[in-house]
Chain A
Amino acid sequence: MRRGTAATAARLGALAYRYRAGLLCVAIFAVMSVIAPRFLTTGNVRGILKASSVNLPAAVGFTVVLICGQLDLSVGSAMTMGGVVAVAMQPQLGWAGSLAVAVALGSAVGMINGLLVAKLRINSFIVTLGMMILVRNAVLMYHDGTIPAETYELSDWLQMPLAGVATPQVAATLLLAAAIAVLLSRTPVGRGFYLLGGNAETAFYAGLRVDRYIIGAFVLSATLSAMGGAIVAMSEAVASPTLGDSSLMAIVAAVIIGGTSMEGGKGSVAGTTVALVALTALINGLSCRGAGYEIQLMASGLVLASVILWDTCMLQRRRKRRGQRRDLLDEFCQPVDETAG
């Protein structure tokens, strides 16, 4: 009897661990809607979705790079670049043209990152750290200070309420995320990313073109970040050279809480998306309660810290169990249990 309940508890624990981002999201929404006034209103939920959509494309790109077992610290700078270029070039090229230029520049940054990591085999931490500094300052050289957009039609359209809580801005970023999710989980290319992150050597011997996958991951990440930055700037009708400066912490937190492993080979876009919404809802709810920026910083740090603590606990328990035959162990433990109980 006791064994049955223990097994059920363990299974429930494993299930909770697996869907932790979803659970966290539900828990935060439940708690906040009780304690925070005006949290569960259409306007506020729309605000939460809008705020999450700011970092969503970059976070999805970061997820892909992390699944490959690499690191991309330059996502924030790429976001800034996308936003500034999209708004600054709009008078000459129109929105479509400026968006194209922003995306092309993003791909170029990603391509350089990928080539340096894959071909010259420089550590991705170093490459993307250097690239973060380089791109941030290149953007500041190009334009120092905020740039207002010349027209507001696109911004109005992107912010227009759509089917209750969504706006075209949110829908666009969700579409991007969904496309990458399908790529990762439903195509051979996506499985290649997981294989590469799980074990690069195996991937090589399995005939995977490892270099191309690494370059592809970095291109995806930088392109998505630039696109995300451009979408934010278009929808706000203003670009600032500090747009993506504080994004890195939020992105890393969301990606890790969403179940992507720093060691690579594990993770999902859905997890990242849900975790990002959860974190944004937490911050939003806290500010509905009147908490300031400092509480938000502390709360997101604490959530991230406790999630990775949980991660490690689960990992260590699994290591301890590895190679054990539970049926035999249970038999051995039975008499001890009875005398103790």
Chain B
Amino acid sequence: MSRPPDIRSAAPAVAGRLYNVLSLLGVYVLIGALFAAGRLISDEFLTTSNLLITLRSVTLLGIVAVGVSFITYSRHYVDLSIPGIMALSGTVAVWALKYGFATSLAAGLGTGLAVGLINGLAVGYYRLNPIVWTLAMGSVLSGLIRWAYAGRQIYPDKATPAGRAFLQLYHAEVLGAVPLVVLLLAIAAIAAHLVMQKTGFGAQLKLTGSSYEVARMTGVNVRRTVAIAFVISAGTSALAGILLTSFNKVGAFYIGKGYDFAAITAVVLGGMTLAGGRGTIVGVVGGVTAIALMDNVMSLVRIGDFVIGEYPKQAIQGALFIAIVGVHSYWLRKSGMDDA
């Protein structure tokens, strides 16, 4: 005799609950494992200086990833023009240093936001494919910088106070000993978290990412929502570009190379799926941390003379990336939270 299914009793079995817990904890399981591995491998791992270096090495990536997560959240994959935006805003900031430090920062950020606005118009309003459009945009921007400076690099002038301030920007410390970049990352992450979780825009973005058509028919201004996501991403990229330029002490076309794929790696590792509308900024920060820890733990491996070189390290990271995201999406599917 068959009974009608009771939706309340259809709660997942114990195994399902484990999937639930694991997929919710997501990347923090991995971080825990990496901490344990690091502790086992080397005594140097759990020292303040090592962890600080690790943290610092990914702060800029973190800032970019926090912005990109808005795009991924809205189901538009990634902004491949990030390297272009970073290089352009950094270079413009160096160029504008002659008008003062504040002007330079404003010019750099403004340039990035302007590019983001164009991306937002094209992808959000005209519904162009985000990957193809931003790839084209990145190519144009990269060409533009090379053309404007004839392939030369430009340096901030150390003789002026503005130039010195610009060079100090990356190394600046505030509130005692907190590096400015880390503080900026924290502010960006907290702000992004609040926007996503506590505001109407965040809810609209989640709905847009989960189901574009449903969001549109519910009355969400989907085009504007997507466009804003691209502007936010461009803003954080511009900020990171200026900071990276300050760190490298030079404005050039190659600043920010590789940040596009690195950022999407961190975002996806943090449990924000490419299917959109799923994931949190907490997870994204975890993803960035996991990348840093992976790198750090692998470089601490020393068995006799054997150390893991740069190429094997990256190759392992590529394989781990596929494996972790694969396992995560498997958990999501098993726990019934995702049918993708």
Contact = CB atoms under 8 A, between A and B. Distances in A.
Report whether chain A binds chain B.
Answer: yes
Interface of A: 71, 116, 120-123, 125-127, 129-138, 140-141, 144, 249, 252-253, 256, 262, 292-302, 304-305, 308-309, 311-312, 316
Given A141-B311, A297-B142, A301-B137, A126 B318 contact: no
Interface string B320-340: 011001100110010000001
A134 B326 CA distance: 16
Interface string B145-159: 111000100000000
Interface stretch (B127-135, B221-229, B239-247): B127-135
The 5 A-B residue pairs with the shortest CB-CB distance, nearest first, are A301-B139, A298-B143, A297-B143, A133-B318, A294-B146
B177 interface: no
A308 B325 contact: no
B69 to A, nearest CB: 15
Contacts of B126: 309, 312
B144 A144 contact: no
A14 B185 CA distance: 50
Contact of A141 (B132, B142, B309): B309
B35 to A, nearest CB: 23
A117 to B, nearest CB: 10
B261 interface: yes
Most A C-beta atoms less than 10 A away, residue of B136, B146, B330: B136
Nearest to A313: B126
A89 to B, nearest CB: 19
B52 interface: no
A316 B126 CA distance: 9
16 contacts: A116-B326, A123-B273, A129-B261, A130-B318, A130-B321, A131-B322, A132-B261, A133-B321, A137-B318, A262-B129, A297-B139, A297-B146, A298-B144, A305-B137, A305-B140, A308-B132
A148 B321 CA distance: 34
A312 B139 contact: no
B295 to A, nearest CB: 13
Contacts of A308: 128-129, 132-133, 136
Nearest to B269: A126
A256 B137 CA distance: 15
A262 B329 contact: no
Given A140-B311, A305-B133, A130 B340 contact: no
Nearest to B145: A294
Interface in B294-330: 309, 311-312, 314-315, 317-319, 321-322, 325-326, 329-330
Contacts of B135: 249, 252-253, 304
A262 B130 CA distance: 10
B311 A309 contact: no
A262 B132 contact: yes
Contact of B274 (A126, A132, A133): A126
A310 to B, nearest CB: 11
A4 to B, nearest CB: 31
A334 to B, nearest CB: 32
A308 B140 CA distance: 15
B268 interface: yes
Contacts of A295: 143, 147
Given A130-B325, A134-B318, A137-B311, 13 more contacts: A122-B329, A123-B325, A126-B322, A126-B325, A138-B311, A144-B311, A253-B135, A256-B132, A294-B144, A294-B146, A295-B147, A297-B143, A309-B126
Nearest to B333: A121
Nearest to A122: B326
Contacts of B264: 129
Contact of A294 (B151, B275, B318): B151
A114 to B, nearest CB: 13
A304 B315 contact: no
B204 interface: no
A72 B50 CA distance: 37
